[in-house]
Amino acid sequence: MRKIAIALLAAGALATSFTPVAHAAAPSATDSDCGFTTATDNSPEAPENSQTGVLYGGPIAQNGTLTCTIKVNVGTHAGAYVNGATRSATGTNGTTVLQPGVVSYISPPGEPVYSCAAFNDGSVNWVLDARTNTWVNASTTPDAECHLAISGGTDDPIFDPIFDLLDLVGTTLDTVICPVLAELEGDYAGLVTINAQGDVFIAGDPFWDCPPYDLFG
């Protein structure tokens, strides 16, 4: 009897020692990253070049902390930012969502603005790399890039309102916008040029980058 008990204990210890260890998982392709809309802050007390916007993100179908960050003139996740904005939310019921919230930031004329999405599952900090639209480990991909959110305006009364609507960035938006832009391929009075993949250039400078995201890095 004692031998059987010892054998059972040994079997239990063996089973415990070989219990599979759960591995961290990046957000899936069906999860949403960060979204951003913006407008000029015209309030009298606003500092020069002050902007206001709405920053939000998710849902991501797992628990963790989703952080959405706006960076001015800094296009990588690892790069520090000045006069940017950030918001985060932690999911505890199997889904992580950052509800829309107003942020303020300083954006001098002509300075590009980037939207950066990061998700920490408790052990790994995942970031969305704009070059491939995939979540990568921030520690092993230190050069991961953020999405370009805003570039310099054209001061054109027709095109500027259109591009203001395109300030919202993210994988989902690109799948809708880029095919439309590709259909508009052509040169418009030397001011706006759109190529076959939907990339937009303002006076020759890159403005909107469609897959395979080869304009800004």
Q: Is residue 167 part of a domain?
A: no
Count of structural domains, the chain: 1
Report which of residues 67 and 109 the model is more confident about. 67
Run of H or E residues at 182: helix 171-183
- φ, ψ of residue 8 in degrees (nearest 5): -65, -40
Tell me, yes or no, whether 189 lies in a domain: no
Predicted TM-score (pTM) above 0.75? no
Could you tell me if residue 43 is inside a domain? yes
Rounded Cα gap, residues 24 and 64, in angstroms: 11
Instruction: Select the highest-mean-pLDDT range: 5-9, 22-26, 64-68.
Output: 64-68
> Residue 217 contacts by C-beta under 8 Å, 6 or more apart in sequence?
75, 130, 131, 145
Is 22 a domain residue?
A: no
- Asked whether residue 145 carries a pLDDT value surpassing 60, the answer given is yes
Question: What pLDDT, in 10s, does the model give residues 199-217?
Answer: 888 878 888 888 877 776 5
Rounded CA gap, 28 and 13, in Å?
A: 35
Q: Which domain holds residue 68?
A: 34-150
Residue 142 in domain: yes
Asked if residue 170 is part of any domain, the answer here is no
CATH number where 113 lies: 2.60.40
How far is the CA of 95 from the CAs of 63, 120, 127, 158, 171, in angstroms?
A: 6, 13, 17, 41, 19
Report strand pairing: 147-150 vs 134-137.
unpaired
| Span 63-91, pLDDT tens digits | 999 999 999 888 899 988 888 899 999 99
**Averaged confidence pLDDT in the chain:** 77
